Structure 1
Amino acid sequence: MLELRNLQVLYDRAIEAVRDVSLSVPDGAMVALLGSNGAGKSTILKAISGVLSQEDGEIVAGSVQFEGESLAGASASDIVRRGIIQVPEGRALFAPLTVEENLLMGGFTRTRAQTRDGIERIYSLFSRVKERRHQIAGYLSGGEQQMVAIGRALMSDPKVLMLDEPSLGLAPQIIDDIFTAVVELNRSSGVTVLLVEQNAQLALEITSQGFIIENGRIVLDGPSDKLRANADVQEFYLGISKGERKSMRDVKHYKRRKRWLS
């Protein structure tokens, strides 16, 4: 189990990005972390991955625990070896390298045999990646790059896969293909998934539990089906009010009336 306990994160020793966040991700589960831009979602993933220092961020209180052990002081590479992998927002591929070279970079902790098996696994999961394995990654479409980024993460055979805005900027059909593959991966291999996503409808459809974060704090959590049925979630995240979809202009005023923050 991946667990955060009363986590507090500061940037530049002054800007509080995450405050007193506690959440748990059970083994084999798919869990959604939802919230608006700047709410603290990506910061939480970076805290788990051990990469906060790259942006002058640090955990100043609380803890991140995995399989009963604290990750305090662990390097990013050590966290990868323990089985936690993040696919960052924007994909961050090695653009000048080929698709297959990018995949090989993801398997740096594995043996040659494990790397070979991992590549075949990715190719069976994403046929488009196999078709473009010799192409330069920087020339791929956004959706293809996202598939390669997920594939690169899977090369290390993770126990926990953290996805940061995987649907951002992608066409609906590509989004469906990617999320279908992630769900199949979870069901067939038991990979735990922590999904950060602004498409709340999609995220709550494929996960079993969700957490909603605002201004660095968890403000609501529960089973995904109950969150979808929650009137506030429908209005403020799904754009639905009394069965009718509201305009974006109306939805943007939700901060004035959030009942769960009162």
Structure 2
Amino acid sequence: MERTWTSVVSARGVSKEFANGLRALSDITLNVLEGEFLSVLGPSGCGKTTLLRLIAGLAAPTGGILERPDARNETGFVFQEPTLLPWTTALANVALPLKLAGVGRKERLRRAGEALAGVGLVGFERSYPRELSGGMKMRVSIARALVTRPRLLLMDEPFAALDEISRHKLNIDLLALWQRERFTAVFVTHSVFESVFLSQRIAIMSARPGRVWTELAIPVAYPRDEAFRTSAQYAGLCRQASQRLFEAMAVKAEAA
């Protein structure tokens, strides 16, 4: 039987203007489908983070219609920085959302331990953030976002500050986690290479005020590995994404 795709997020003509008059987003139209991995690609300052915050419910649009999961525990958010509590352990950091939700101690620690195991951090439950590498701290942050078993995971350039080797490894591990858990992922990045490697579809944004100028499908089966990253197909898709990104940026330049 053919699968019927449903939208987890639907944005129709969404705009966002701040109190100081800055228009960050204009006429955003975007559907995010159940279970897909979507990247949002665009230049710095185009409103990618603002769009993610609107989807998360951390801010409200000033125009248009935005439909998104209503329940707080249906959405997980991974920020650019791990934002871990420095005075407590990795296990306690991951368990924090469950504690705030009133989940009992035994159950929340069990689920936090499972979440840490899911991101490859067995044996580091009692470690403090100062004892972890940058990549390990980001894994803890991802585990914390997933511990509530959200329907939608939003990620705001989570690997941008990491070295290339760590970033490549986390890309592969994130895809394995997504395939296993089957959450819907929206991943913000300004890296063409990362967006092509991770995604089923890329939404490419123009410069501020940002809008989704075009989309690019990545018709490559999963799992993806280093063999794909060094393939001619990957190089060709990166060229396509780069060209469309340059065209999106030129639209703003011509309108200026």
Shorter-normalised TM-score: what interval? 0.7 to 0.9
1:218 aligns with 2:209: no
**Cα deviations by residue, 1:127-157 (Å, 9 ceiling, x for unpaired):** 3x33322222244221111111101001111
Shift of the 123–85 alpha-carbon distance from structure 1 to 2, 3 Å rule, reads: closer
User: 2:119: which partner in 1?
Assistant: 126
Unpaired segments ≥5 residues, structure 1? 53-57, 72-78, 238-250
Matched residue count: 231
User: 1:20: which partner in 2?
Assistant: 27
Shift of the 134–14 alpha-carbon distance from structure 1 to 2, 3 Å rule, reads: same
Code of the residue aligned with 1:199 in structure 2: it is S
Shift of the 94–211 alpha-carbon distance from structure 1 to 2, 3 Å rule, reads: same
User: 1:242: which partner in 2?
Assistant: none
1:99 aligns with 2:90: yes
Q: 2:65 aligns with which of 63, 74, 89?
A: 63
User: Equivalent residue of 1:59, what SS?
Assistant: coil
CA deviation after TM superposition for structure 1 residue 203, in Å:
1.7
**Cα deviations by residue, 1:86-131 (Å, 9 ceiling, x for unpaired):** 111112222222211101113233734652442232232233x333
Contact 2:75–2:154 under 8 Å retained in 1: yes
Shift of the 230–130 alpha-carbon distance from structure 1 to 2, 3 Å rule, reads: closer
Q: 1:135 aligns with which of 106, 127, 139?
A: 127
User: Equivalent residue of 2:126, what SS?
Assistant: coil
User: 1:115: which partner in 2?
Assistant: 108
Q: Distance in 2 between matches of 1:207 and 1:114?
A: 34
Deviates more, 1:227-236 or 1:32-41: 227-236
1:234 aligns with 2:236: no
Shift of the 150–110 alpha-carbon distance from structure 1 to 2, 3 Å rule, reads: farther
Code of the residue aligned with 1:234 in structure 2: it is S
Shift of the 147–234 alpha-carbon distance from structure 1 to 2, 3 Å rule, reads: same
User: 2:144: which partner in 1?
Assistant: 152
Shift of the 80–114 alpha-carbon distance from structure 1 to 2, 3 Å rule, reads: farther
RMSD: 3.0
Contact 1:209–1:222 under 8 Å retained in 2: yes
Identity %: 18
Q: Distance in 1 between matches of 2:216 and 2:244?
A: 16
**Cα deviations by residue, 1:163-202 (Å, 9 ceiling, x for unpaired):** 1102111122322332222212221221111011122212
User: Equivalent residue of 1:33, what SS?
Assistant: strand
Contact 1:110–1:156 under 8 Å retained in 2: no
CA deviation after TM superposition for structure 1 residue 233, in Å:
2.9
